Amino acid sequence: MARLILLNKPHGVLSQFTDSGTGNSPRPTLSDFIGLAGVYPAGRLDRDSEGLLLLTDDGKLQDRIASPRHRSEKTYLVQVEGVPDDGALAALRQGVVLKDGPTRPARVRLIDPPDLWPRDPPVRYRKSVPDRWLEITITEGRNRQVRRMTAHVGHPTLRLVRWRVGDWTLDGLAPGAWRAATP
């Protein structure tokens, strides 16, 4: 039977097991949190983002989770700069045109600030610029897609936490913690 691991990837961690960067100091990778052999990420979560990352040892399951053709839903809790108006929210819901083409429509709603762990390093705070939280659900997974979508409508992302992929959620997982799940 396939193994499936749910990891709460902390901010600043690469979504791979080794750091192939050329910098002087190594960056944290998945190997700093998971000591299991033979599991690999099903999709990616950029270094600046945090939250749910699924890992598996089954190629078919990995494809079903990560491939855009399966339209697996991914839900993100997103702190943005400014307060999006109805026009910005409507644009996200309809899909926006990015440099690599139009996005599929997204489900978007304003939410109260979620009860999350503190981020390290903290999100910059500016007294003169308000921020707002959104819940965004997409069925694609382009490189930095949610960040590019919110920036496109004039509200850059300050913090991005992937909360759900398909039926699997981050509920109950502390940053850096993982648990086995049923595929």
State both tokens at 105: 């429509």
Q: Count CB atoms within 10 A of the CB of residue 45.
A: 24
Question: Which of 19, 32, 46, 57 is the catalytic position?
Answer: 46
5-58 tens-digit pLDDT = 999 999 999 999 988 776 677 899 999 999 998 999 998 899 999 999 999 999
Task: Give the E-state strand segments of the chain in sequence order.
Answer: 4-9, 40-41, 50-56, 74-81, 97-98, 101-102, 107-111, 131-138, 157-165, 168-169, 178-181
The reported pLDDT for the residue numbered 126 is 80
* Single pTM value for the model: 0.94
Per the annotation, the verdict on 120 as an active-site residue is no
DSSP state of 118: P
The reported pLDDT for the residue numbered 183 is 87
Q: Which domains does the chain have, with CATH numbers?
A: 1-68+167-183 (3.30.70.580), 73-165 (3.30.70.1560)
The reported pLDDT for the residue numbered 128 is 79
Q: How far apart are CA 98 and CA 140, in angstroms?
A: 13
Q: How far apart are CA 180 and CA 163, in angstroms?
A: 16
The reported pLDDT for the residue numbered 129 is 83
pLDDT mean for each 10 residues of the chain (183 residues)? 95 91 81 92 93 94 84 95 97 96 97 94 84 96 93 97 96 96 91
Mark 111-128 as b/e (b = at least 16 C-beta within 10 Å).
Answer: eeeeebeebeeeeeeeee
Q: 67 to each of 63, 72, 93, how far by Cα in Å?
A: 5, 8, 21
By three-state DSSP, how is residue 87 classified? helix
The reported pLDDT for the residue numbered 25 is 78
* Whether 57 contacts 2, CB under 8 Å: yes
